[in-house]
Every structure is written in structure tokens, then in C-alpha cells.
Amino acid sequence: ETEKNLTLTIEMTKKTGLAGALITGFINLGALHYEMGRYQEAQESYNDALVVLEQVGYNPSLPRVVQMLKVAAGIRGGFELKLDGFLNFDLPTIRMKRIKGMAAQAMGECYLYIDESHKDEAETWIKKAIEIDEQNRMPWDLARDYALYAEFFKKKGDPTKAKEKLSKAIDLMTSIGADGWVERYEKELAELK
């Protein structure tokens, strides 16, 4: 239902020429596809957002983060990627508070899934995301940071820490009434051994 509504929103927004709303629609559709494991479609939505961002010459921080989200989708999808310059990302170049945590989370996710040799970098970026999202009081993003941290500990073979981090994510999602996310994380928690 969310996908249908976002697609309809994008189609309607294209007709109005409201670039900000169109960019937001593409980014949200990309995030939805990403969460559904449909990484190719996520990349396509992020590409669409980048096209509009380029056309309107929007704040340089947002295209940078959207590019990172696109790379994260590519890594998760196992696609061939050019990572030149990406792994040398400098967080202070992102000036928008709202997306700074998103950028750190995307970097953490990329490092977590790129290969087994980047676990230290993944943890560093995940901790940065948590710190930023706590500081900026972004509970939904913070919950997703903790869920990613749980993934980190699952991959590391530490189910106790994974449960602890996933429980924090559940508490945060519960506090903001995100029932679907609570159900999802509770299911993941029950599967942890």
C-alpha cells in the first residue's frame, strides 16, 4: 500500500513541478524498496532523485547522501560498483542535520556488507550514526541505527549483543508508535539464538 501511494505521489508531483516533493518521493520509494530487499529498484529510485537534484542544483549535501544510499543498495544487492572516492567519505561535508545521521548509517551499512574485512569501519560508522541521531533527537533513525548495530553483532557472532541492540530498536519504535517496525524487529529478535 505504501509503495502504491508513493508511486501515485510521484506521478502527481511530476505534473506540478514541485522539485522538493518529487525528490522526497523518490528517496522514500528508494528506502521502501531497500527495506523490502528490492535493491535494483531502490537504486533506480535513488537515480531518479539524483536526476532531479542535479536539475535544480539543490544543496550539495543531499545528492551526496542519496549517492551513498544508492551505493548501499548496490552493495546489498551484490551489484558491480565503482567505489572510488566513496570509501573516503568525510562526514563534516554534510551540513544538513537531518541527513547527517542517515549518511553515517549508510556508510556503516556499506562497510558492514561490502566484505568481511571492514567490520571495524562498519562499527565506527554505526556508532557515529547513533551519536548523531541521539544528539538530533531522531528516534526513528536512531532505532534503525540500533537495528543495524544488531546486524553487526549477528555477523560478528555475538547474539547477546545483537539482542541488546535490537531490543533498543524495539523500544524506540514502540515509543513513536511504529507498530510495523516493532513487529518486524520482534520477529528478528525471536529468531536470534
Cα–Cα distance measured from residue 32 to residue 3, given in angstroms and rounded to the nearest whole number: 7
Please report the pLDDT score of residue 177 as a whole number.
94
Please report the pLDDT score of residue 173 as a whole number.
95
Please report the pLDDT score of residue 84 as a whole number.
62
Residue pair 126/108 in contact (Cβ under 8 Å)? The answer is yes
Q: What pLDDT, in 10s, does the model give residues 28-64?
A: 999 999 989 999 999 999 999 999 999 998 778 888 8
The H or E element that residue 81 is part of is none
Cα–Cα distance measured from residue 74 to residue 68, given in angstroms and rounded to the nearest whole number: 10
Question: Which residues does the chain have with pLDDT short of 70?
Answer: 82-88
Q: Which of 153, 150, 134 is nearest to 142 (CA)?
A: 134
Can you give the pTM of this predicted structure? 0.87
Q: If you count them, how many residues does the chain have?
A: 193
Cα–Cα distance measured from residue 50 to residue 57, given in angstroms and rounded to the nearest whole number: 10
Please report the pLDDT score of residue 86 as a whole number.
67
Please report the pLDDT score of residue 165 as a whole number.
97
SS (H, E, C) 89-155: CCHHHCCCHHHHHHHHHHHHHHHHHHCHHHHHHHHHHHHHHHHHHHHCCCHHHHHHHHHHHHHHHHH
Please report the pLDDT score of residue 87 as a whole number.
64
